[in-house]
Every structure is written in C-alpha cells, then in structure tokens.
Amino acid sequence: MEFKESARLYEEAKKYTPGGVHTSIRNLEPHLVFKKAEGAYIYDADGNKYIDYQGAFGPYILGHNHPYVNNKVIEALGRTDLYGTGSTDLEIELAEKICKHVPSAEQVLFCNSGSEATYHAIRLARAVTKRFKLIKFQGCYHGWHDYVARNMLSSWDMIGKRDPGSAGMMEEAIDNTLVCTFNDLEDVERTMKSNDGEVAALIIEPIPHNIGCIMPQPGFLEGIRKLCNEHGIILIFDEVITGFRHDIGCYQKVAGVTPDLTTMGKAMANGFPIAAVAGKKAYMQRFNTQPGGDVWFAGTYNGHAVGTAASIATLEMMENEPVHEHVFRLGEKMRGGLRDILKRLDIESYVAGFGSVFTTYFMGFEPKNYSDLQHNDAEFYVAYRRALMEKGIFKLPMNMKRNHISYSHTDKEIDYTLESIEEVLRDMKGKK
C-alpha cells in the first residue's frame, strides 16, 4: 500500500494547522488524508479502501453518508436552517422522540458536542445541590473542559501513568474532581463518605468504552444509583458513546438503571454534529431557557436544522428498521470468530464487547477496570492493527479503544475481516 499523496497533503496541513489535525488523537503513523466515505468503507487520498471500524469514534451507527439521513438533511435545508429566536418544528419533533425513548429524559436540551453536554450537566448538578465536588472514574472520558479533564485518557498515555490533564487548567477543577475505580463500589462509598455533603454529582460512562469495553459487573450500576440516592448526589450517565448505539433508549434502558441526568451525542445523529443533555424535569427547569431559570444555557448553533433533521432521521431508522438486531448479530459473529481464531492460535487474549462494539485485549483475563489494562500487550496490538491496515481493515489506533460495527456492515465485511485477522495473527505469532 502506498501513502504518497497522504504524505504530501500532510505536509501542507502542518503548515497551517498545529500538527496538521484538528483533534488531539488524530496523528497516526502512517498519516492518512481521507477523501471519501460510503457505508462501511472509507478511502484515503491515495485511493486505498478500508473497511471502517473506527466509525469516527462512534457516531456512524448506520454507516457513512447514509442516504436516508443525508436526504432528510438536504430536504430540511431546502426549507429551513437556523433562527436565533423561538423554536423550530424539527427541535420539537426530536425532543419529543428522545423523551419518549430514553427512560431518564423528562426534558431535553440540544447543544453541539458531547463536551458541551457534560459541561452543562455538571454545572446544573452543582447548582441544584449547592455542592462542588465531582466523582468520576479512571479511564472514563467526558470531554475536553476543565470540569472533567483530570485523568482523561489520551492516546499517548501510558497505562498506569497518571494523566496530567491539560496545561492551563484551573487547579480548583482538579482539586474538586475525585477519581474512583470502575466496578469498585467500596471505593465509591468510601469516597462519598469522606466527602460527605460536598459531592454534587457522579458522572460515569455506564460502559467505559474510552478504554475499550469494560462491562459493569452485576449490581455495580444499581449500587451506584443507591449510593447516589443515599448521599444526595446527582447521578449523570454519560451516554455519548453508549446512547442510541446500544439501544434506542440508550444503555440505561438495557441496564434498567435510571440516572438523574443523561448526556448524549455521537450515534444520536449518525455523524452530524448535535448532542443533548436530558433528565428530570425538576432539574432541567433550572436552566435559563426557562423563565426564572438560573443556570446558563446557550449556543448560537443549538438546534440547527442539520443536526436536528439528522437525528430525527437516525432515530426513525432505529424505529422502523432492525438496526440494533443487525449490528448486535454481526457483533456476536465478530466476537465469536475472534475468540475461535485466538484460541486456535493459542494467543493470550480477552475478546470484549457489547452489541456492535468489539475489542481484543492481549491479556489473559477479563479487565474490570483501567488498572487491569496494565497487563495488556499494547505493543502487540499496534503491530496487529498496522498489519490489518495493509489488508484494508481500519481499526482504532489503540487497543484501549473500541471498534464499531454499523448497519452498513454485512456478513461479507465480517467474514473478510476474520479471515484477514487469522492470516495476520498467524504470521505475527510465527515471528514472535
């Protein structure tokens, strides 16, 4: 495979943009410049074609450039766009749909990115409780802002090393963020007790997909819900990845645990920029979109026709077609196939996943939290991923992250992927 045109364009990109990329973890070796995306496939500037499992970190639940969604957006733009006063028919239709499907959503507000949604949810929780501390979990990522930046995970982190967050952060934000261990209820209880009356909110990815796929152990999410109730702490499920990908009612519907507030994004609109914060009406009424509300909520592009139309279309697809049935079936097939291959080749590994998400940890047991991942052979994964690229399979750059299957993937792509994985691993094992 050649990457000459990508390399040439990358030199141009670096002249005008620091590092040539517009998000911190997009710098990879080899650097690719992408030019085309369609269904389950992406194409780089040299014309190389890949089956895409990165899915732009998760939005593409239906596949790239999905015609139903794109057509709805084009149709909407034929008559409407953005106003800055009042409401739009598209906002109302989407809000109603979300409140119908998502158990915790009594009311909802739209913004443009997951980071905005988590920022608003945390600030609301602080206003409601008149407390300032926040509990989060090691390895969970909730966005780029100071409220959640402690222990965020970037691709350049080494496992086991404390993430410094970002230069320029407010020290107060770091001091007010308490980091617990996922799947460890005792740790959470101890932290709540030793900060009694000071913790406003607990924010959690119900499945920490930012470190692959660590499943909540039975009773963990229920235990968190109970502890939050006992300590008067607002429970925020950050469903920016899990929301709509695992169920049209988000993962909370699957788990049967209802948070007070929920943040959503990504799969909500199949790649178009829109996110949301939703929750209990009594809390949501505190936002100053409501007369008398005292928690600031604003954004020039909030509720834009592009995002709202795309999200309505995406949810309609989930309502009317077997989207989840399809991606869950292919996810099972992929995980089952991977387990068989790894067993046949006798490679120490744990294949994790849920629904459309899968990941392979090169370690001999099921990881239950971030620290367990220090046993994972990250170097082996990087070489494995690179070899798969040569076969036209595009996976996420780090094995702590997950891979996604979309409604546009078919048995053909899964079969080819599994065959290629077996070839690559056989070859790598021979050289080990």
94 or 148, CB closer to ligand PMP?
Answer: 148
65 or 113, CB closer to ligand PMP?
Answer: 113
Segment contacting ligand PMP (CB under 6 A): 12-20, 111-119, 182-190, 405-413? 111-119
Q: How far is the CB of 59 from ligand PMP (least distance, A)?
A: 9
Helix (H, G, I), strand (E, B) or coil at 142: coil
Confirm or reject binding of residue 240 to ligand PMP (CB under 6 A): yes
Q: How far is the CB of 111 from ligand PMP (least distance, A)?
A: 9
d(CA 387, CA 416): 14
57 or 370, CB closer to ligand PMP?
Answer: 57
> Look-up: residue for tokens 């005292």?
294
> Look-up: residue for tokens 């990250």?
378
d(CA 152, CA 145): 10
Whether the CB-CB separation of 425 and 345 falls below 8 Å is answered with yes
Q: How far is the CB of 58 from ligand PMP (least distance, A)?
A: 7
Segment contacting ligand PMP (CB under 6 A): 6-14, 113-121, 318-326, 333-341? 113-121
228 or 241, CB closer to ligand PMP?
Answer: 241
Segment contacting ligand PMP (CB under 6 A): 90-98, 140-148, 376-384, 422-430? 140-148
6 or 115, CB closer to ligand PMP?
Answer: 115
Question: Judged by CB under 6 A, which of 6, 88, 104, 115 binds ligand PMP?
Answer: 115
Residue closest to ligand PMP when measured from CB atoms: 114
Burial (CB count <10 Å: 0-12, 13-18, 19+), residue 299: middle
Segment contacting ligand PMP (CB under 6 A): 101-109, 114-122, 215-223, 324-332? 114-122
Number of residues that bind ligand PMP (CB under 6 A): 14
Residue 238 is a catalytic residue? yes
Binding mask 288-327 for ligand PMP (x = CB under 6 A): ----------------------------------------
Q: Please, which of residues 42-71 interact with ligand PMP by CB under 6 A?
A: 57
Binding mask 189-218 for ligand PMP (x = CB under 6 A): ----------------x----x--------
| Total Cβ atoms within 10 A of residue 84 | 8
* DSSP per residue, 28-81: -SS---EEEEEBTEEEETT--EEEESSGGGTT-SS-BT-HHHHHHHHHHHTT--
Residue 266 is a catalytic residue? yes
* Alpha-carbon torsion, ordered 20, 26, 29, 30, to 10 deg: -70
d(CA 416, CA 353): 19
**Among 72, 58, 98, 68, CA closest to 276:** 98
* Cα separation values, 392 from 30, 41, 248, 384, Å: 14, 9, 31, 13
Whether the CB-CB separation of 134 and 147 falls below 8 Å is answered with yes
| Residue in 41, 53, 60, 141 annotated catalytic | 141
Q: How far is the CB of 122 from ligand PMP (least distance, A)?
A: 11
Question: Judged by CB under 6 A, which of 152, 179, 204, 241 binds ligand PMP?
Answer: 241
Q: How many CA atoms lie within 13 A of 316 on its CB side?
A: 12
Q: Per the structure block, which two tokens stand in for 23? A: 């998000």
Segment contacting ligand PMP (CB under 6 A): 30-38, 110-118, 215-223, 349-357? 110-118
Question: Judged by CB under 6 A, which of 27, 113, 155, 289 binds ligand PMP?
Answer: 113
Nearby residues of 366 by Cβ (< 8 Å), 6 or more positions away: 350, 352
What is the torsional sign of CA 347, 423, 411, 50? positive
Confirm or reject binding of residue 138 to ligand PMP (CB under 6 A): no
Q: How far is the CB of 313 from ligand PMP (least distance, A)?
A: 19
Whether the CB-CB separation of 6 and 46 falls below 8 Å is answered with yes
Q: Please, which of residues 243-282 interact with ligand PMP by CB under 6 A?
A: 265
| Residue in 266, 370, 401, 407 annotated catalytic | 266
First-to-final CA distance of the chain: 24
| Residue in 146, 187, 238, 247 annotated catalytic | 238
b (16+ CB within 10 A) / e for 34-62 = eeebebbbbbbbbebebbbbbbebbbbbb
Question: Judged by CB under 6 A, which of 3, 50, 141, 147 binds ligand PMP?
Answer: 141
Confirm or reject binding of residue 142 to ligand PMP (CB under 6 A): yes
**What residue ranges bind ligand PMP (CB under 6 A)?**
57, 113-115, 118, 141-143, 205, 210, 238, 240-241, 265
Q: Could you give the residue numbers annotated as active site?
A: 141, 238, 266
